[in-house]
Amino acid sequence: MADKKTSKPEKPVTIGIKVPGKKVRESHKVSKNKKGEVIVDHTNTNKGKWDKINLTKKAGAKTVKQGVKAVKQYHRNQGR
């Protein structure tokens, strides 16, 4: 059985999401912090309170891949 400490750390993923009303895509960086929580960071603009969102608490994401899926689904559902 593999130890969790010896498994490969997940690399951060940057995704671009098309936002209605804007000509360019907004980029979102999904990564893990030192505590192991999945975080999304809005890299283009400062979103104030929502600049960095903890997806482990908000969406139950445990991996970066699940975090990317949660971000895409949120924007799809919200039409943003």
| Strongest mean pLDDT among 3-7, 13-17, 31-35, 71-75 | 31-35
Q: Is the pLDDT of residue 64 over 70?
A: yes
Residue 80 · residue 19 · CB < 8 Å: yes
Q: Residue 69 class from Cβ within 10 Å (0-12 exposed, 13-18 middle, 19+ buried)? A: middle
Beta bridge partners, 29, equal 14, 41
Residue 24: predicted pLDDT? 79
Structure confidence at residue 2 (pLDDT): 52
Arithmetic mean of pLDDT over the chain: 83
| The pLDDT value given to residue 20 | 64
Tell me what pLDDT residue 72 has. Answer: 87
What does the block give as tokens for 32?
Answer: 């893990």
| pTM listed for this prediction | 0.77
